[in-house]
Amino acid sequence: MKDTKRPRETVSSLNYREAEGTPTATVPELKALAGAALSLIARAGADTGEKDFDGRPVRRFAATISDGQTMEIAFAGADIPSGIPDRTAHPSDIPFERPWVGDYRLAVSAPLVVMDLFWKGDEPLRIMGFSRGDWEADLAEMAGADA
């Protein structure tokens, strides 16, 4: 449920990029990468018995990638959805939708965190982190090979 109360505006609260032009359609590359990670979790993810901060069960998948390092996919959620939402939260909405708690969190480390997504049903996706790199090809290849 959205908390629509606006936080009190201070000078420092204006220290945000004006992001009027930021698109809210989730880009296809992100949907493909998330889909690949989710498919690996669904097919080969291990139920670790762990719970995350909000009590969601955590599943993990790990494999060696092309540079010899380990890629790990961590997924927290009661069930595994097939994909991520079609819309991405606009930055200007984030401060005014608090507290916000997602149902699903998906993080890929290769070996540093390169993609971290948080979402809830059909509500817009929240990108917690996303760094482009050679890991994308590794993930796509693994998901394809595993299919």
Partner 1 sequence: MIGKSWIREQGLQDPLLVEALRRRGWEDVPLWRDGANKDQPELHERRNAAIRHWNEMRPLRDGPVNPERVEVTDTAAMTAEIKRRAREAGGADVGITSLKPEYVELGVDLPHRNVIAIICSEDYAKALEGPLEVEVEAMEAYALCADASTEIARYIREELGYPAVAHHNGSFQVQAIPVFHDVGFGELGRHGSLIHPELGSNFRPGFVTTDLPLDYDSPREFGIQDYCMNCNLCRQNCPGDAIPDDYITTSGIKRWLTNIDKCYPISRFREAYCHICIDVCPYSYKENGDPVKRDIFKQYMKVRKDEGYKTPKGDR
DSSP characters for 71-91? EEEEEESSS--SS--SBB--G
Which residues does 21 contact at the CB level (< 8 Å), separation at least 6?
A: none
Is 110 an interacting residue with respect to partner 1 (CB under 8 A)? yes
CA distance 44 to 64: 14
Judged by CB under 8 A, which stretch of 18-26, 31-39, 40-48, 73-81 contacts partner 1? 18-26
Is 64 an interacting residue with respect to partner 1 (CB under 8 A)? no
Judged by CB under 8 A, which stretch of 15-23, 35-43, 56-64, 75-83 contacts partner 1? 15-23
Q: Which of 113, 120, 140, 146 binds partner 1 (CB under 8 A)?
A: 113
The CA-based diameter of the chain, rounded to the nearest angstrom, is 52
Q: Which of 48, 51, 64, 94 binds partner 1 (CB under 8 A)?
A: 94
Is 98 an interacting residue with respect to partner 1 (CB under 8 A)? yes
How many residues are listed for the chain in this entry?
Answer: 147
Is 62 an interacting residue with respect to partner 1 (CB under 8 A)? no
* Least distance from partner 1 to the Cβ atom of residue 51, Å: 14
Whole-angstrom CA distances from 139 to 10, 18, 77, 106, 116 are 43, 33, 21, 14, 14
Cα 127-80-55 angle, rounded to 5 deg: 75
Return residues touching partner 1 (CB under 8 A): 7, 10-23, 25, 27, 29-30, 53, 67, 69, 89, 91-92, 94-95, 98-101, 110-114, 116, 118, 126-135
